[in-house]
Amino acid sequence: MEIRKFAMNYGTVLGLILALIASVFWMIGIEERESIIPSLTNNLLIIGFLFYSITNYRDSIGNGFIAYSSSLKLGTSIAFFSSVIMAFYTFMYITYLNPEMLANISDMTEQTILQTNPEVSEEELEMALEISSQLMQPHFLMIMGVLGGTFMGFLFSAVISFFVKKTDINNLP
């Protein structure tokens, strides 16, 4: 099995698990803006899943060996594919499950601006809110979700790869 297909399969599983967990948190009323629990749960799950996936690839397909670069590539690819799944979940969440979320974020942004700078003019406030609303469109959030998830996966994989790499000394040049 090539590394891309392995990464697609494991990335899809990770993305679906993360979407399921996000749905459970939404159903029980835990919001990421109000609690650290969702972020902590997601990051620990991603780290654990990447570690499991890379060691599974190393032990089952790599005959017990994996180079640092291959491990980093695999982990980043898994994170990319899971981020794509989560981006679609985010789009569905914002569009259908919780459409008032963007309005709530806009209101919170306005309150934050007014609290941090009470002397702001009406024109500056409107301009800041207009820029903020453009950045809060579902398609932009999807792109940023994929980029952010892939980058975090890269960082996690860089550390994980340091610990799981095993070089076959018989194949050294």
**CA atoms of 13 and 76, how far apart (whole Å):** 15
The neighbour count for residue 27, using CB atoms within 10 Å, is 9
Distance CA 162, CA 53 (A): 15
CA dihedral 71, 72, 78, 83 (to 10 degrees): 170
**The pLDDT of residue 45:** 97
Q: What is the per-residue pLDDT for 30? A: 85
Residue 50's pLDDT is 98
- pLDDT at 114 (0 to 100): 83
Which residues, given as ranges, of the chain have pLDDT below 70?
A: 1, 171-173
The tokens for 65 are 């060996």
User: Mean pLDDT score of the chain, rounded to an integer?
Assistant: 90
